[in-house]
Amino acid sequence: MEISERLRSIKPSATLSVNAKTLELRSQGVDIVSLAVGEPDFPTPAHICEAAQAAIAEGFTRYTAVPGIAPLRQAVGHYYERHYGISVPQEAVIISNGGKHALYNLMQALLNPGDSVLIPAPYWVSYPDMVALAGAKPLMVHAGVEKNFKVTPAMLEAKRQPCTRMLILNSPSNPTGAVYTPDEFNAIMQWAVENNLFVISDEIYDQLVFAPACMTSALSWWQRYPEQVAVVNGVAKSFAMTGWRVGYTVAHPELVKKLSVLQGQCTSNVCSIAQKAALAALEGSYDCVTTMNKAFLRRRDIAYSTVCSWKKARSPRPDGAFYVFADVREYFRPGMANSAELCTRLLEEAHVALVPGVAFGDDNCIRFSYAVSDTVLVESLNRVAAVLDR
Ligand code: GLU
């Protein structure tokens, strides 16, 4: 079969592949514990599920406006007013099928063949492939463990080319959990706008930042430079709603119109019922977020202190999201000589699923998602340590 050139150059998502492999092994009865996929283990809070049930009962099951129902677009505005004190009009918001779809659409809307895009590495697995699907070229800017996994304007400038059009930021970061300080973040934004780059700020983990670190959003930059900045977020991680697929973009209203045209030709609106659920999440009580975040902080401390106690692993303390990204190169040996082989060995011998760092652009590392119960976390880290030390 003749598959398009475009698709032939695309890799499967490593996070989803490891998840699929885990589910397959479990269905064969193998006792796999997974620290692989980044998804909260909590059920979606009851008041959110009830809103979805009410939507079905009311027959709210037809097409909606392509960019989302007005109350949900307004709720995104309220969210930014509430958390960042910045007002965002409905025309500047589009609801998409998860943060992933929001990102994909932005790249389709903004990039042309021949453009290049700066991606700080380690990066979330899907950025480079989304850039490639838009015909553009990803330019990785690597910041390893010794740089606390953070890039600087000087590092970005060293990689920038005349054809560079875009920069993708992600703080808190998946996979590293690194959170840029306000000074670090704003210096990068300043450099980017001065150099006429479009910045996509993926802020899907904005509710998951652990004090004393604090969240810096690109939203104030969007307010000042609306034609050069888009902020992407969603309800998946903050409200334990990964399967509902509701993400959103804040961008210039003209860009939002174009994104709606694209979405209207590809997917139409996000599931009407999921939109009602997301509305209940954004407009309802945030007690559920606080409760889940307390658990994530406790697990961060468990995971980070355990990994630090391993003699040959290195990791800066992750200040956000729910990942520890550890440099484990000193454990490499024949048969487990890189991150992929190490993860295969851990899956086969420790029965623990992890995502190899190579998928995120750093082959010295492996990613642990601690969005699992404390017991599973402790048990799986012990199993990993046993294999590493063997
Ligand atoms: N973003 C999550 C992760 O990195 C979910 C899987 C995905 O869509 O990549 O594990």
* Test site for ligand 1: of 124, 325, 354, 372, most ligand atoms within 8 A of the Cβ: 124
Label residue 79 by pLDDT band (50, 70, 90): very high
Instruction: Supply the pLDDT for residue 14.
Output: 83
Instruction: Supply the pLDDT for residue 223.
Output: 98
Which residue's alpha carbon is at the smallest distance from atom 9 of ligand 1?
A: 15
Instruction: Supply the pLDDT for residue 11.
Output: 84
How many CB atoms sit inside 10 A of residue 57's CB?
Answer: 8
Instruction: Supply the pLDDT for residue 257.
Output: 98
Instruction: Give the phi and the psi of residue 169 in degrees, each rounded to 5.
Output: -110, 150
Q: State the Cα–Cα distance between residues 311 and 331, nearest whole angstrom.
A: 10
Residue 334: exposure state from Cβ atoms within 10 A (0-12, 13-18, ≥19): exposed
**How many CA atoms does the CB half-sphere of 380 hold within 13 Å?**
26
| Cα distances (Å, whole numbers) of residue 151 to 4, 193, 371 | 35, 16, 26
Do residues 338 and 327 touch, judged by C-beta distance below 8 A? no
Label residue 9 by pLDDT band (50, 70, 90): confident
Q: Could you tell me which residues are beta bridge partners of residue 314? A: 327
What's the average model confidence in pLDDT over 165-181? 98
What is the tens place of the pLDDT at every residue in 141-154? 999 999 999 999 99
Do residues 63 and 268 touch, judged by C-beta distance below 8 A? yes
Chain-centroid distance of CA 126 in Å reads 9
More confident site: 190 or 5: 190
The DSSP annotation for 306-332 comes to HHHHSTT-B-PPP-BTTEEEEE-GGG-
Residue 253 in 3-state DSSP?
helix
Has residue 18 got a pLDDT over 90? Answer: no
More confident site: 22 or 241: 241
What's the average model confidence in pLDDT over 239-262? 98
Instruction: Supply the pLDDT for residue 279.
Output: 98
Please give all residues whose beta carbon lies within 6 A of any atom in ligand 1, as ranges: 13, 15-16, 37-39, 100, 125-126, 174
Q: Mean pLDDT check: name the lowest of 19-23, 67-71, 247-251, 277-281.
A: 19-23
Q: Please give the distance, rounded to the nearest whole angstrom, from the Cα atom of residue 173 to the centre of ligand 1.
A: 12
Do residues 325 and 315 touch, judged by C-beta distance below 8 A? yes
What is the tens place of the pLDDT at every residue in 108-153? 999 999 999 999 999 999 999 999 999 999 999 999 999 999 999 9
Domain span(s) for CATH 3.40.640.10 in the chain: 46-283
Domain span(s) for CATH 3.90.1150.10 in the chain: 5-43+288-389
Residue 355 in 3-state DSSP?
strand
Q: 5-43+288-389 belongs to which homologous superfamily?
A: Aspartate Aminotransferase, domain 1 (3.90.1150.10)
Instruction: Supply the pLDDT for residue 16.
Output: 85
Instruction: Supply the pLDDT for residue 337.
Output: 93
Instruction: Supply the pLDDT for residue 355.
Output: 95
Q: Please give the distance, rounded to the nearest whole angstrom, from the Cα atom of residue 289 to the centre of ligand 1.
A: 19
Has residue 41 got a pLDDT over 90? Answer: yes
| Cα distances (Å, whole numbers) of residue 267 to 32, 63, 277 | 35, 11, 19
Mean pLDDT computed over every residue of the chain: 96
* Test site for ligand 1: of 10, 11, 13, 16, most ligand atoms within 8 A of the Cβ: 16
* Test site for ligand 1: of 22, 125, 343, most ligand atoms within 8 A of the Cβ: 125
Q: Please give the distance, rounded to the nearest whole angstrom, from the Cα atom of residue 286 to the centre of ligand 1.
A: 23
Has residue 15 got a pLDDT over 90? Answer: no
Q: Could you tell me which residues are beta bridge partners of residue 248? A: 95, 233
What is the tens place of the pLDDT at every residue in 347-362? 989 999 999 999 999 9
Instruction: Supply the pLDDT for residue 21.
Output: 84
Residue 372: exposure state from Cβ atoms within 10 A (0-12, 13-18, ≥19): buried
Has residue 22 got a pLDDT over 90? Answer: no
Supply the pTM of this predicted model.
0.96
Q: Could you tell me which residues are beta bridge partners of residue 57? A: none
Q: Give the neighbor-by-neighbor strand order of the sheet with 93-96.
A: 93-96, 247-250, 229-234, 198-202, 164-169, 116-121, 137-142
Cis geometry, peptide bond prior to residue 138 (ω within 30 degrees of 0) = no
Q: For residue 244, what is the DSSP state? A: G
Q: State the Cα–Cα distance between residues 318 and 177, nearest whole angstrom.
A: 4
Has residue 316 got a pLDDT over 90? Answer: yes
Percent pLDDT > 90 in the chain is 92
Q: Tell whether the torsion through CA atoms of 236, 193, 197 and 118 is positive or negative.
A: negative
46-283 is classed CATH 3.40.50.300: no
How many CB atoms sit inside 10 A of residue 8's CB?
Answer: 8
- Residue tagged 């799986």 (tokens): 380
Chain-centroid distance of CA 51 in Å reads 26
